[in-house]
Structure 1
Amino acid sequence: MRAVRTALGMLLLAVGGAVSVLVTAAAPASACSCVVGGQADYFEWSDVVFTGEVVDRGTDDGTVSYRFAVDRVYEGDAPPQAVVTSGRESAACGMPDLQVGTAYVVYATADGASLTTSSCSGTREVRPSYVERVEWYAGSGHPPGAEATGDDPAAAARSEESAAIAERPLALALVGGGAAVVIAGGLLLGRRRIRE
């Protein structure tokens, strides 16, 4: 019986370790703490998503403003020239280092006519593979200043599929946690029966 308890205890430790790895997997450590997200999350958290090149930048009272020449819009609407602000401190999740002449995929939130972004938003330098993921999720987008037609059913289906995939780690963690509780309960019950 002792061998069974030892085996169950080891199994409980293995399951608990696997669950903790899944639950605590995160981005590299930094002073800025972001909720780890994927394409579906970035779009959900943003009012406007576009690609564009930084053509000008300026700083003011703890913020940095970037003027973008907008190329494609994937969420919401953006004018051909969009101004996006961010914090000047990267430790506070700001993005002070976007470079003039460099193109970015920008995920921004709107506060009235103002757009803001942060290092947690998903904003990154344009790379073909990253733009492919954006377009896989949202479709081919539309030109700046034009309304989205919303007629890309494949993008809508991919959005739903991506949201379902994003929920899988949580479901796996819940199942693993439930299994750990059942195993621990079984160990305690078995221990109680041995004493009686």
Structure 2
Amino acid sequence: MNPTARNASRLVGKAVLATGLVVGLTPVLGANPAYACSCIGPVSEEKLKKQAQVVFKGKVKSKSGTVDSPGSTGAETVTYAFSVSRTYKGKVRVPQLVATANSSATCGVRLSVGSTYMVYATRAEPANKSKAARRAADRKPLQINLCGGTHKIT
């Protein structure tokens, strides 16, 4: 084999090795988690109420965080503070805090301060079955998501 052919063969081998490394390591090193929020078709108000642990009508007084903020990983949350005008199910606090994912891709809900909503929420899960854990979970904000039915009231 002449020197030119040998060099060409080495270059091809290095290119194949480099390509294999890039393709093989991409899932390990460079892949970001993929998120998608998908809700099952329209659900009746009755079913939404049945699925929720807490249902109330209230006005958003303030919020901390931004849904779909730049650089969002989907793991952060946005918290809204509500003044509750009517409770339909469960117990609420004054003011009632409600949390959601900060990305619509992970089913985060974008609400507007000053607007009134019908809220369908769930309670935080206790860390265990102890009374202290249940009390601690009750102090956490209620949880809402894009598929839960929370909607603006005009």
Structure 1 length as normaliser, TM-score?
0.46
Counterparts in 2 of 1:111-130, with a 5 A limit?
Answer: 111=124, 112-113=137-138, 114=140, 115-127=142-154
1:39 to 45, 65, 79: 45
**Structure 2: how far apart are the matches of 1:52 and 1:39?**
17
After superposing on structure 2, the runs of 4+ consecutive aligned residues of structure 1 that deviate more than 4 Å are none
Q: How many matched pairs?
A: 96
Q: CA RMSD in A?
A: 1.6
Output the CA distance in 2 between the equivalents of 1:83 and 1:118: 14
Note the alpha carbon deviations across 1:71-97, whole angstroms, 9 max, x for none.
1000111123100000011121111x2
SS in 1 for 2:49: helix
> In structure 2, what is the equivalent of residue 102 of structure 1?
115
Alignment deviations for residues 134-189 of structure 1 (CA, whole Å, 9 cap, x no partner): xxxxxxxxxxxxxxxxxxxxxxxxxxxxxxxxxxxxxxxxxxxxxxxxxxxxxxxx
Q: Which segments of 5 or more consecutive residues in structure 1 lack a partner in the other structure?
A: 1-30, 128-196
**Unpaired runs of 5+ in structure 2?**
1-35, 67-74, 125-136
Query: Larger helix proportion, structure 1 or 2?
Result: 1
Q: What letter matches 2:114 in structure 1?
A: G
Deviations 1:40-94 (A, max 9, x none): 2211211100011110100296110000001100011112310000001112111
Q: How far apart, in 2, do the equivalents of 1:64 and 1:86 lie?
A: 5
Larger Rg: 2
Aligned residues with identical type, % of pairs: 35
Residue 93 (structure 1) aligned with residue 107 (structure 2): yes
Secondary structure in 1 matching 2:123: strand
Query: Which of 76, 80, 83 lines up with 2:97 in the alignment?
Result: 83
- Between the aligned partners of 1:35 and 1:47, the Cα distance in structure 2 is 19
Q: What's the offset of the Cα at 1:35? A: 2.3
Q: Is the contact between residue 71 and residue 80 of structure 1 (CA under 8 Å) also seen in structure 2?
A: no
Distance in 1, Cα, partners of 2:111 & 2:88: 20
The aligned runs of 1:95-174 (5 Å cut-off) are 95=109, 97-111=110-124, 112-113=137-138, 114=140, 115-127=142-154
